Amino acid sequence: MFDNLLKPEHLIIILVIALLIFGPSKLPGLGKGLGEAFRGFKEGLKGSGSPDNADAPKQDTVAKSENVTPQVK
């Protein structure tokens, strides 16, 4: 059923439809957002394997925020 789903002709049709819907000015921004989303997803998958590493940055930010002294003007 899904053997011939992503042929080059299908991808071209999808790109043309996206160009018609979003316009040429918004497509680069959409591509950038999609790339950042995939990158974040991959980083999330790598980070989920070791929960000890995920807690370390949170502790650093807590320690940094405690050392900051407020400035009164």
Is residue 27 within 8 Å of 18, Cβ to Cβ?
yes
Domain coverage including residue 45: 1-50
| Residue 73 domain-assigned (yes or no) | no
Rounded CA-CA distance 4/30 in Å is 26
Report pLDDT for 30: 86
- The pLDDT confidence band at residue 52, using thresholds 50, 70 and 90, is low
| Residue 37 domain-assigned (yes or no) | yes
| Residue 70 domain-assigned (yes or no) | no
Rounded CA-CA distance 26/49 in Å is 36
| Residue 24 domain-assigned (yes or no) | yes
| Residue 44 domain-assigned (yes or no) | yes
- For the segment 14-44, what is each residue's pLDDT rounded down to a tens digit? 889 988 998 888 888 988 998 999 999 999 9
Mean confidence (pLDDT) of the chain: 76
| Residue 22 domain-assigned (yes or no) | yes
| Residue 64 domain-assigned (yes or no) | no
Q: Enumerate residues 6+ apart whose C-beta is below 8 A from 27.
A: 18, 19
Structurally, the chain folds into a number of domains equal to 1
Rounded CA-CA distance 43/45 in Å is 5
| Residue 58 domain-assigned (yes or no) | no
